[in-house]
Amino acid sequence: MNIREVVIISGKGGTGKTTLTASLASVAEERRILADADVDAPNLALLLNPRETGRQPFFGMPISEVDREQCTGCAICEKACRYNAIHVRDGKAVVDEGFCEGCRVCLHVCPERCISLKTIERGIIRRGNTALGPLWHARLYPGGENTGLMVALLRKEARKEAEASGASLIITDGPPGIGCPVTSSVTGGDFAVIVSEPSRSALSDLRRAAGLCGILAVPFGIVINRWNLSEELTETIKETCGNEGWPVLGTIPFEEKIAEAVGAGRIPTVEMGDALPALWHGIQKTGRLKR
């Protein structure tokens, strides 16, 4: 079975990734699995209202823990830690759990051998059924490390289910930015949709997101959302795409009724009108999603 995975990203936050992911899922006809890879600000479930069928805790890398009884406060660990994650306070080393990456340098250098490893729960991964198909989503506990690892696990679950159930399409709502969680969302995907909007900030971020897709060798195309908020900047984005050879997959207008539907927790399939099926067609064609 040939499963195709399309990942929706944006660079800049707030350009409409989640709304578009749900809307595209509502016009896709294939058997599909949905995944929300924006694990530290997950919102897809707010539009899809899943009935929960399962949940599992997420454990990141084991991290360091100091035995306070044994610690002499020598600060050798503090000097060795490259992540600024262990500090001597009041004569004892204290691990900052939000920064420890579990590299074990401190264990290695501690003369008292008083540092060990512990596993902590960093978040929760959930599965639910929705009208548009099964949804895999997750929540990283605030301040947490290991977003990339969590995204990788989430995508693996979605793929496993697609293989088992015969679904041919996975639609993944990605995180903003170009860092760890985005890299983990896009790597190995079949096609990335970059959602932009007519602003100078979004154009700058689009360039960086496109650069990342290039480095990861994942083909991509661009959607210009709310194009009518500035026709001039929409033209600039289209020109940039033309010059760079990036395909423009479609455009979606800004309309109050779209915002109102999302505000009421509804997927704006009807409100987006003909632009939506046209966009999905563009994605299928450019992304070679159809077998």
Partner 1 sequence: MKIAVASGKGGTGKTSISASLLLARPDTLAIDLDVEEPNLNILLGSFDGCVMPVTMPIARIEGSKCISCRKCAEACVYGAIAWLGAGVPVINESLCRGCGLCPRVCPPEAIYEEDQVVGEIRSGICGGISFLEGRLRVGSVNTVRVIEETVKKAQSFNETDWLMDCPPGTACPVAASLRHADMALLVTEPTPFGRSDLEGMLEMTADMRIPTALVVNKTGIGDILIDDLCRRFNADIIARYPFSRSAAESGARGESPFKTDAGWAETTRSLWSDIERRFS
- In whole angstroms, the minimum distance from the beta carbon of 80 to partner 1 comes to 7
Q: Which residues contact 60 (CB under 8 A, 6 or more apart)?
A: 102, 120, 122, 144, 145, 146, 149, 150
- In whole angstroms, the minimum distance from the beta carbon of 127 to partner 1 comes to 19
Pairing of strands 115-118, 121-130: unpaired
CB nearer partner 1, residue 146 or residue 284: 146
CB nearer partner 1, residue 163 or residue 239: 239
Amino acid in position 8: I
Amino acid in position 14: G
Sign of CA dihedral 11, 12, 16, 19: positive
Q: How far apart are alpha carbons 149 and 61 in whole angstroms?
A: 9
- In whole angstroms, the minimum distance from the beta carbon of 200 to partner 1 comes to 4
- In whole angstroms, the minimum distance from the beta carbon of 257 to partner 1 comes to 12
Where on the chain is the footprint of partner 1 (CB under 8 A)? 10-15, 18, 38-43, 46, 61, 80, 82-84, 98-99, 101-105, 108-109, 139-140, 142-145, 147-148, 175-183, 197-201, 204-205, 208, 211-212, 215, 229-230, 233, 259, 262-263, 265
CB nearer partner 1, residue 92 or residue 104: 104
CB nearer partner 1, residue 165 or residue 214: 214
